[in-house]
Structure 1
Amino acid sequence: MIHLGTSGPKLIPLLAYFIFLCSLPLATSSGTDTDRKALLCFKSQISDPTDALTSWNNISRNFCNWHGVSCSTKIPLRVTGLNLSSQGLGGSIPPCIGNLSSIASLDLSRNTFRGRIPNDLVRLSKIIYVNLSINYLDGHIPAELSSCRHLQVLGLWGNSLQGEIPPTLTQCIHLQQVTLNNNKLGGSIPSAFGLLRKLETLNLSNNALIGNIPPLLGSSPSLEYVDLGANQLTGGIPEFLANSSSLRVLRLMQNSLTGEIPPALFNTTTLITIYLQSNNLVGSLPPVTAISAPIKYLSLAQNSLTGEIPTTLGNLTSLIRVSLAVNHLVGSIPESLCKITSLERLILSINNLSGQVPQSIFNMSSLKFLEMGNNLLTAQLPPDIGYRLPNLQRLILSTTQLNGPLPTSLVNAQKLEMIYLANTGLTGTLPAFGSLPNLQEIDLGYNQVEAGDWSFLSSLVNCTQLKKLLLDGNGLQGSLPSFIGNLSLQLEWLWFKENKLTGIIPLEIGKLRSLTVLYMNQNLFTGRIPPTIGNLSNLLILNFGQNNLFGPVPDSMGNLAQLTEFYLDGNNLTGGLPASLGRWGQLENLNLSRNSFSGNIPSELFNISSLSQALDLSNNFFTGHVPVEIGKLINLGSISVSNNLLTGKIPEFLTSLSSLQELNLSFNDFEGPVPSVECVCLHSTEETRLTKNTAKRIAVITLASI
């Protein structure tokens, strides 16, 4: 017989242990079930048009195998990671995401989530990595994120977040990467960012941040990447940033920073990239005293820097790109720059540099961009430049005095994309650039080049990427060949103005349907306006002024719905204006003066409410009354209908044209009283006279702004 009484006391501990063991699966089941419910809740409250979460269902109870879900390796199994990047998911981020209490990594980037960041994220006490970038999230960054004390990576870039960056965010002392760029954040940068000792990356670019850069930013021994570009920051560059012993990339461009460039920046032992362009920095470029400074990318363009380019800049022997454009630099280009064998981009345009360009620049075979335009330089292009610079993509030397012919060897620089040699004194016949497959832009304006047999133009048919062809202000003679219509279908700008071209404007020009700017003015063209111009539906600016064109304006011109400026002045055009011109909805400037147009001014012309700069119909043979619809042009600054045959009373439109600065009605046959000038708030009348009108007052009114 078993006596339970004697063994009872010994079994009590065993029984308690057994009960404890039995309770473990229940605890595990409870935590696991919470995660499972949270995931199913998440799925139920979002949109999933691509069925990325098909595996998330009640049939499959092992959620660790669900798409995008990572779990712990030990029992109890808990969700530790959720990676649903680029899954096409949308809707609001459900609050139940906060029930995943063991999650360490959350990546919902590159989806279409909208609305606010749920405050429930602050319940994720173990979270280390959060990436909600490239969505459509708005609202504020929750200040309560400071509760996530283990947070190391916070990525919220590429949304529409507003408000200030919460200062409490800097209480997450383990932060290593903070990327909040490309949002709508305002306010100042929390000063305590400079105290985060583990911070490696800080990207706050493309927001609306104001104030100074925190003075301690850069004091962290871990900081490697800082991008505060494209904000509204003011003040100077902090010394800690300039003297950082760890910083590799510094991007502060497109702000309103002032002061001088700290010399330490140029004598760094770690910095590789320095982008300070588009600020208000002043002073001279600091000398380079460091040996083997690692700077590869240096942009100081669009500031107010003065003085000469220091010869010691050539000590930056690792430079790949340097841009000093759009400053007030003087002096010559240092020969030392030509010794940087790695240099790919040398951009010095729009300064006051002078003297002879070092000939050794043209031996830098690594150069891809050579931009020195709009200075006071002189240069001699070597005849074999196309062989010396085989990697050249951009040659921009406008206003540099070159003189002589353009070297034909340029056609051997197979990688050329842009040639800007305007106003350089070039002469001779244009070379055939058709062997340059990547050519996109050519500006040879205001030289003395010649067209020859137009073979250069026929060769450009092979340049299928050509977008801009500017040959204005030269001595080009002869007729435009019809094969101009075979130029690149991507051509956007075509400038032939201020030449001596004769003959008709080819019908084939209407094939260039990507044209946005067409300048043919100040030539000797004859014939009619080609009706095919109406096919150029992308045109913004069209100028046929000051030629010898005749005949009527084609009705097809009304198809140019995007047109903002239209000039036909100084021709021999006749007939009435087509009513189709009234279809223009973007036009701001219209000049039809000095022709032989006749008939009534079509009222449709005054339905173009976008007219804001000038309307000039002077020196024609228009008859009849001024349409009362002219009163609709309330944004127009200048009107001239002088030297026509207009009759009747001056309409009461003056009472509504509040933006008018100049009005010329002279040399017509108006009669009757003139409407009160005062009632239209004309600030001052510089000239008032009666000239071949019988109206009691006013022929020309010029209005000056207060």
Structure 2
Amino acid sequence: MNSPVTILFSSLVIFFITTASSASVGGNETDYLALLQLKSMITHDPYEALSSWNVSIHFCDWSGVLCGKRHRRVIDLVLESQGLQGSLSPHVGNLSFLRGFSLSNNSFQGMIPHELGRLSRLRALNLGFNKFIGDIPANLSCCLNIKRLGLHYNKLVGSIPKELSFLSKLTFISVDGNKLTGGIPPVLGNITSMEVFSAPENPLGGSIPDTLGNWKNLSEFDCGDCKLYGTIPHFFYNLSLLTTFSLAKNQLTGSFPLAVGAMLPYLVYLQLWGNQLTGPLPPWISNCSKLEHLEVSSNNFSGKLAIDFGKLKDIQVISLGNNIYGFGEADDMRFIDTLKNCSKLKMLLLNNCKLQGVLPPSIGNLSDNLSNLDLRRNNLYGNLPSSIGNLVGLTTLNLPENRFTGKIPSTMGKLQNLQEAYLYMNWFSGPIPDAIGNLSSLITLDLGSNRFEWHIPSSMGNCHNLLELQLNDNKLSGRIPTQLLQLSSLTIALNLSQNNLFGSVPTEVGDLKMLTSLDLSNNNLSGNIPTSLGSCTSLSFLSLKGNLFQGIVPSSLSSMRGVSALDLSHNNFSGHIPGFLERFLLLEYVDLSFNDFEGEVPVTGVFSNVSAFSVLGNSRLCGGLAELGLPKCKETGKHKKRFPLFIIVILVASTLFTILCFAYAWCKKRKGEPSQSSRDEHFMKVSYSQLLKATNGFSQANLIGQGGFSSVYKGILDHDDKFVAVKVIHLQNRGAHKSFIAECEAWRSIRHRNLLKIITSCSSVDFQGNDFKALVYEFMPNGSLHDWLHSAASTLRLNFLQRINILVDVASALDYLHNHCLPTIVHCDLKPTNILLDDDMVAHVGDFGLARFVGINSNQNSTSGIRGTIGYAPPEYGVGSEMTSSGDVYSYGILLLEVMTGKRPTDNIFNEGLSLHKFAQMALSDHVTDVIDDDLLNFLQEEDIATKCTEAKAKKIEECLASVVKIGVSCSVDSPAQRMNIEKVVHELQHILDMLQNI
């Protein structure tokens, strides 16, 4: 039996619990319990959005909860963009007073609970950008007061429930980006209050019901990429409130009505591209005075362009490409004259429209905001007007596959923002203007298949951002300018083929270390292949075909292990076929035909497949595969017998010894060498829409980092199932564009196992026509060093070996940037958030947005602008000194001390003259363990207990701790000249690491 004392104690406990519960519930226990049930099914709350959801305060004061003043019942529940994971509790249906409910931008999974149908007072439901599956609950039709329903970008299947037609107050429905089928239910036309219907990126199918004509208040209708067919019902053109009309990428047929009058006065977006629409574009489009986006490309529209664009003062995007507007008349391009008042125009896309005639000089009257002009694949002829130089906002100029003649006007040199220029397959002639060298932003220049003469201007060496240059199939002569070959930015392609270039290839070709494709074929180049060409270790395509080259193929080319196609045919090369070609694992085709090679043809590697190589026209070759039909090679065995056996033994032994020495040296240095895999991979191309999809609409749930210039999102690209990190640049922030250029410039020049691996970049526009720039990196699953040092999660703890390995990795990366890059690169923003960790806890240095090149382009070292991060930037930067490698060493020293002490340099304890440097320095003279991170000390104590650590071992560990801290102090002294050299840092840390592993 229970004693009276026990009974009394139990009663008191129940009393206090009941009292506390009453205090937090306030009598509305149903809402309180429903919220607790909702919280119980959330499995991950990274931002601690629900940390206030506890008994200590009334639930009406919980984060995201809003209660009514009279009844103290939950009326709004908003938990947007909190990174929440889990499923949605059915008990949410018990919040009977709920009017607004939003879980947008999270990672909720599972089915949408049918119990939501109980919420009769609900006015707005937003479950967009989650991972809900299954059907849309039909009993949402019981929420008769609902006005806004957002279910976009989930994984919902089935059809749009017909029962939604009972929601007579519904004004907004968004189901974008799901997997819904079954067409648009005609009964939805009964919802006469509808204002916004958005369902793009669903395989709905079917035609557009005529019953939707009852939506007299409709302002936005978007069913792009929905597999719709049939015609566009004419009632749409009578909806006077319509602002957005998007039916892009469907299978619609039919034509525009020609006599609509002054309808659609508020239309802003007209997006019908990617259908099968026919007929002319009607003149009444001119009356849509608010129109900003006219996108009707890739249809079967025809007829003369009769739109008076002069009336469209707000037009930003005109996309009419892949239709037929040209009739071979002289005034095909006269409509350009009407664009002079369109001061907001950003994009004019008229590609593949069969337009004929000359490009009028009025092209120069277009908006300064025009960034993209696309007239490719038409029948335009005559000279390119010099007024093209007035379009100072151009970033992309697309004029290929026309019949332009004459010279390129030198006024093109005024286009300082031009990044891509495509003028190939025209009839341009004369010299390439020197003014091209003024285009400092140029990334791609393609002048191929024209009639250019004279020499390649050396001024092209000023285009320091150039990634790709195509000058093939012209009449250029003279020598290859050394300035061109010194453009280390060239990483994609340099194509000078099919010209009349002569002379030898300058040794400066070796400066193109990151170049992927080099084509010098079909010229009159002569001499030997320069040995420096072997420095182009990123080449995957090399063609020297059809020249006058001679001599042997230099052994230095053996370093080009990533080459997949090699063409040396039709020259005068001699000597043996290089044996290293057999060892090129990625080599898919090699053409050595019509030279003077001699000796035996190899039979391994690429030479094991007769269709993968050609050796025709080399009369002194023998052996090889039987299919070649070459004579057998002569026996040389008799001569070999003359060598005494002991000489052969000595030669073999010495060779093996040399190989072993090289292997040992390579193993000792492999951490400091660039990863070969990173050299061999090629950049893919990604678009804004691909990145939007990969990151679930750049959702907050996928946000993994944020800074002043960018936000970083986790995502998965379509072609792969591996995660990537997408760094979206905040171009609206001052300095962000410069940061993007700096980072691109840096990544073109560097490859190292301890540098973050870039996959590709994206320079495009978003769906609103705004500039969009992003970088795509390999995803680092273990996050940043900052996370491991300062996270509250108990699972994120680093032991001593892990910390030293990370410090060695970062120092090795700096050693590479400072001492093994040409030119030297200064990172300028080294800190724990920029150190990322892969699956194996190997550290990778990232974020080169503030990087500087030392020794070139001196204006990069301007004394203005951002100079690192407070606490990590060296003191000399604060007084305007140049960025130097010793500045990086200072930042590294601070980072090292942070790794060892667990304290940020901006910690509150560092005031009144005390800094992280002084804090660590003072401990060196007494007891270093006083400043070591508690987590690290706990690890060491746990190891002591587990291994019964001896006093000698403990002393050695303490010596190691002191040695590491001493390095950090030496690196972070105020005087740049007194800071430790980064090469010595690597050596010292490696020595400490060896000691630790031997304890």
Q: TM-score normalized by structure 2? A: 0.51
Q: Counterparts in 2 of 1:400-549, with a 5 A limit?
A: 400-431=426-457, 432-450=459-477, 452=479, 454-461=481-488, 464=489, 466-487=491-512, 489=514, 491-506=515-530, 508-512=532-536, 514-527=538-551, 541-549=565-573
The change in CA–CA distance for 1:353 and 1:150 in structure 2 (over 3 A counts) is farther
One of 601, 612, 616 as aligned partner of 1:590: 612
Answering whether residue 106 of structure 2 is matched by residue 111 of structure 1, we say: yes
C-alpha distance in 1 between matches for 2:564 and 2:64? 50
| Count of residue correspondences | 575
Q: What CA distance in whole angstroms lies between the structure 2 residues aligned with 1:88 and 1:66?
A: 18
Amino acid at match of 2:544: M
Question: Secondary structure at the residue paired with 1:217?
Answer: helix
Q: How does 1:45-56 map to 2 (within 5 A)?
A: 45-48=41-44, 50=46, 52-55=48-51
- Distance in 1 between residues matched to 2:202 and 2:630, nearest whole Å: 53
- The offset of 1:384, in angstroms, is 4.6
- Measure the CA separation in 1 of the matches of 2:143 and 2:334: 51
Deviation at 1:100, TM superposition (A): 3.6
Task: Give the residue type in structure 1 aligned to 2:496.
Answer: L
Note the alpha carbon deviations across 1:298-352, whole angstroms, 9 max, x for none: 0111234433535234223213321101222222223443333444432211111
CA contact (8 A) 2:389 2:411 kept: no
Cα separation, partners in 2 of 1:222 and 1:366, compared to 1, 3 Å? same
1:223 corresponds in structure 2 to 242
Question: Secondary structure, in 3 states, of the residue corresponding to 1:47?
Answer: strand
Paired amino acid for 2:484: L
8 Å contact kept, 1:500–1:523:
yes
Report SS of the residue matched to 2:460. Answer: coil
- Matching residue's letter, 1:460: L
2:33 match: 37
Q: What amino acid does structure 2 have at the position aligned with 1:68?
A: G
- Structure 2 residue aligned with 1:393: 419
Q: Work out the CA distance in 1 between the residues paired with 2:244 and 2:610.
A: 46
Query: How far 1:377 sits from its partner (Å)?
Result: 1.8
Residue equivalent to 1:175: 171
Question: Superposition pairs for residues 344-359 of structure 1, below 5 Å?
Answer: 344-359=371-386
Match of 2:296 among 254, 270, 276: 276
* Uncovered stretches (5+) of structure 2, i.e. residues with no partner: 1-20, 178-199, 634-999
Aligned to 1:661: none
CA distance in 2, matches of 1:326, 1:538: 37
Aligned-residue offset at 1:48: 0.5
Alpha-carbon distance, 1:64 to partner: 3.2
Which amino acid is 1:480 matched to?
V
Q: Distance in 2 between matches of 1:600 and 1:418?
A: 43
Question: Which secondary structure does the structure 2 equivalent of 1:434 belong to?
Answer: helix
Q: For 1:139-154, what aligned pairs fall within 5 Å after superposition?
A: 139-154=134-149
Matched, 1:579 2:604: yes
Q: 1:453 to 1:325 in 2, by over 3 A?
A: closer
Farther off after superposition, 422-431 or 91-100: 91-100
Contact 1:143 1:169 in 2 (8 A): yes
Paired AA for residue 498 in structure 1: N
Contact residue 399 and residue 424 of structure 1 kept, 8 A:
yes
1:34 counterpart SS class: helix
Partners of 1:145 and 1:379 in 2: CA distance: 67
Aligned partner of residue 447 in structure 1, secondary structure? coil
SS of the equivalent of 2:483 reads helix
Does the 8 Å CA contact 2:253/2:276 hold for their aligned counterparts?
Answer: yes
Secondary structure of 2:380's match? strand
Matching residue's letter, 1:375 = N
What's the CA shift for 1:164?
A: 4.7
| Partner deviation per Cα, 1:262-283 (whole Å, 9 max, x = no partner) | 3322442121111122333333
For residue 448 of structure 1, report the CA deviation from its aligned partner: 1.9
The alpha-carbon deviation at position 403 of structure 1 amounts to 1.7
Distance 1:310 1:404, change over 3 A: closer
CA distance in 2, matches of 1:141, 1:365: 51
CA displacement at 1:246 relative to structure 2: 1.6
| 1:151-193 deviations in Å (ceiling 9; x for gaps) | 4444444444445555665665532463614744331365355
Q: How does 1:133-282 map to 2 (within 5 A)?
A: 133-166=128-161, 172=167, 174-176=170-172, 178=174, 180-181=176-177, 183-188=201-206, 190-191=208-209, 192-217=211-236, 219-237=238-256, 243-282=263-302
- Over 3 Å counting, the alpha-carbon distance change for 1:567 and 1:320 in structure 2 is same
Instruction: Give the counterpart of 2:401 among 361, 366, 374.
Output: 374
Matches within 5 A, 1:20-99: 32-48=28-44, 50=46, 52-55=48-51, 57-85=53-81, 87-99=82-94
Q: Secondary structure at the match of 1:64?
A: helix
CA 1:588–1:579 in 2, change beyond 3 Å: closer, same or farther? closer
Name the aligned partner's letter for residue 274 of structure 1: L
SS of residue matched to 2:235: coil
Report the AA paired with residue 468 of structure 1: A
**Shift of the alpha carbon at 1:513?**
5.0
Q: Secondary structure at the match of 1:429?
A: coil
CA RMSD of aligned residues (A): 3.9
CA distance in 2, matches of 1:588, 1:306: 50
Q: CA deviation at 1:442?
A: 1.9
Summarize the Cα distance change of 1:478–1:306 in structure 2 as closer, same or farther, 3 Å threshold.
Answer: same
Contact 1:547 1:571 in 2 (8 A): yes
Q: Match of 2:956?
A: none
Q: Secondary structure at the match of 2:76?
A: strand
Call closer, same or farther: CA 1:321–1:61 in 2, change over 3 Å.
Answer: same
Alpha-carbon shift at residue 235 of structure 1 (Å)? 4.0
* Structure 1 gap ranges (5+): 1-24, 603-616, 624-706
Instruction: Output the TM-score relative to the length of structure 1.
Output: 0.70
Q: Deviations over 1:61-94 (max 9, x none)?
A: 5233333334334432314132231x33334444
Aligned to 1:360: 387
Distance change in 2, residues 1:531/1:114 (3 Å): farther
Q: Is the 8 A contact 2:513 2:538 kept in 1?
A: no
Which deviates further from its counterpart, 414-423 or 134-143? 134-143
Could you tell me which amino acid in structure 1 is paired with residue 84 of structure 2? L
* Distance in 2 between residues matched to 1:430 and 1:402, nearest whole Å: 15
Task: Tell me which residue corresponds to 1:340.
Answer: 366
String of CA shifts for 1:603-626, please: whole Å, max 9, x gaps.
xxxxxxxxxxxxxx6565589xxx
Q: Note the alpha carbon deviations across 1:531-570, whole angstroms, 9 max, x for none.
A: 6667666656544444444533544655544x66654554
1:282 partner amino acid? S
Distance in 2 separating the partners of 1:506 and 1:241: 71
Identity percentage of aligned residues: 30
Does the 8 Å CA contact 2:99/2:124 hold for their aligned counterparts?
yes
The alignment partner of 1:113 has SS state of strand
CA distance in 2, matches of 1:534, 1:123: 73
**CA 1:135–1:592 in structure 2 vs 1: closer, same or farther (change >3 Å)?**
farther
Higher helix share: 2
State whether residues 519 and 543 of structure 1, in contact with CA within 8 Å, keep that contact through their aligned partners in structure 2.
yes
Shift of 1:111: 3.1
Q: Tell me how far 1:528 sits from its aligned partner.
A: 5.2
CA contact (8 A) 1:267 1:290 kept: no
